[in-house]
Amino acid sequence: MRSKIVAGNWKMNNDAKETKNLVKGIRKAIKRFPLANTRVLVAPAFVNLRSANKKAKKSNIEVVAQNMHQENSGAFTGEISADMLQSIGIKTVIIGHSERRSIFGETDELLAQKVNQAIEKEMEVIFCFGEQLEDRKTDNHFTIVQYQLEKGLFHLEAIAWNQIVLAYEPVWAIGTGETASPEQAQEMHAFIRKLVQEKYNTSVADNTSILYGGSVKPSNANKIFSKEDVDGGLIGGASLNIEDFTEIIKAI
Ligand code: 13P
């Protein structure tokens, strides 16, 4: 059975102290309610991963990375490898976030290499993808999403999908306050699950968690999460606030 997941992507926010306080606050808040089959993940900046992980110890919070390099080690100034992440206890990494694609020029080919490296290193991947506003306006959103999945993930063997979580994030909904409607999210998630089923099989499709990301807030989380193929969310802005993030976790 696939898990429900609420993941906070903290992006380039929070210094050391703020990170610790945020983990501490979330930890305390979610202690009060049961989390049946639900995982709570947070992705702080690289420099704060270690302390966040320490603060999250023996709690329901898993600390994950926002990115990693596709090589193991070497002359790659400013980069971080899977081995480095694992050496501080990080087992999951976000790959392919739209900001990595658009601001840092990460291509589908590069992302496939990163995915391969993570799989080989036995890490879990939260693979992000989603269409631009223009794609949706021109009715190309399904084509784009299919292309991103084919390029980034569909070369993998079925067995590797144990290590894959999908995060559909329409770019026009990220940080804009504009959310996909629950119906739009469900329509795309069902399409994605069908693609996985056709490429692999029903078991892989049924066991893969598909998260929605893009302006999820306490006010809309319930409706989005109630959709059959939406297994949780990848939350940006609202995950920086203890109360908002807690409300979103409650919604699931
Ligand atoms: P917002 O929730 O701020 O729109 O960000 C979504 C996102 O990019 C999560 O990865």
Q: Are the C-beta atoms of 125 and 115 separated by less than 8 Å?
A: yes
**pTM of the shown model:** 0.97
Residue 216 Cα: closest atom of ligand 1: 2
* Ligand 1 atom 9: residue of nearest CA: 236
61-88 as b/e, with b when 16 or more CB fall inside 10 Å? bbbbbbbbbbeeeeeeeeebbbebbbee
Question: Given ligand 1 and candidates 93, 100, 174, 225, which is best to mutate, with the most ligand atoms within 8 Å of its CB?
Answer: 174
Q: What radius of gyration do the chain's Cα atoms show?
A: 17
Average pLDDT over residues 46-51: 98
Which residues sit opposite 164 in a β-bridge?
A: 125
Query: What is the Cβ-side half-sphere exposure of residue 116, based on CA atoms within 13 angstroms?
Result: 14
Does residue 139 register a pLDDT over 90? yes
Find out whether the beta carbon of 224 lies less than 6 Å from any atom of ligand 1. no
Average pLDDT over residues 112-141: 97
